[in-house]
Chains A and B, each alone.
Chain A
Amino acid sequence: QSALTQPPSASASPGQSVTISCTGTSSDIGGYDYVSWYQQHPGKAPKLLIYEVSKRPSGVPDRFSGSKSGNTASLTVSGLQAEDEADYYCNSHAGSNIFVFGPGTKVTVL
């Protein structure tokens, strides 16, 4: 199972946007539209933000959006708020019902 790559950190000021990339291969991100994104605050369980690349579960603000191009998926947080400061993880189907997480990106609200 290959690893996904994410930048270790990202930051922006309140009200601005931040985009987090998640790069894999044609065996995972590039091969399937089963990419999901999670937000995790310290000491808490992860929260599902995006599934199937760009779909939002009910209750997730539309400030969170997802996309994919080739082997790279992206999560954009628009109108950044203080409570968005957290770790963000991508997850992809990697064939044969195997899944893989990215290493996570720590988002700081300046």
Chain B
Amino acid sequence: QVQLVESGGGVVQPGRSLGLSCAASGFTFRNYAMQWVRQAPGKGLEWVAVISYDGTYKYFADSVKGRFTISRDNSKNSLVLQMNSLRADDTAVYYCAKDYKGYSSGRYGMDVWGQGTTVIVSS
């Protein structure tokens, strides 16, 4: 079945780095843009980043631009969010999500989501 599984979350001190991974299965990963969305405790959804199906284009929310990078390995059906210079307000559940339509750049909604991985930034 179509599935996304995030990993890599944990507790990290402010200013440190953490990498999140998302393993995809059950669909042709290389055909779909992928996104990261986060949700702080008790708060709403916040869009974080998108990467095009071929990894050519990458876009970020202002809140993470310059600190986070997004990458993908289509040969391994994997997506990575590298988070640097972490701050307390980066504390959230991080979801990876698949675009609904192939060969797009994130404009058609996200139809498959992982279960999320929790990142806590605290000293």
Assess whether A104 is in contact with B45, with CB atoms less than 8 Å apart: yes
**Complex interface: chain B residues within 8 A of A103 (CB):** 44
Assess whether B115 is in contact with A91, with CB atoms less than 8 Å apart: no
Assess whether A101 is in contact with B109, with CB atoms less than 8 Å apart: no
- Report the contact-size class of chain A (Cβ under 8 Å from the partner): 20 to 34
- Report the contact-size class of chain B (Cβ under 8 Å from the partner): 20 to 34
**Complex interface: chain A residues within 8 A of B59 (CB):** 96-98
- Which residues of B are in contact with A by a Cβ distance under 8 Å? 35, 37, 44-47, 50, 57, 59, 61-62, 95, 97, 100, 105-111, 113-116
29 example contacts (A-B, Cβ-Cβ < 8 A) are as follows A32-B107, A34-B107, A36-B110, A38-B110, A40-B45, A45-B113, A45-B115, A46-B95, A46-B113, A48-B110, A51-B100, A51-B108, A52-B108, A87-B44, A89-B44, A89-B45, A93-B106, A93-B107, A97-B57, A97-B105, A97-B106, A97-B107, A98-B47, A98-B59, A99-B35, A100-B47, A101-B37, A101-B44, A103-B44
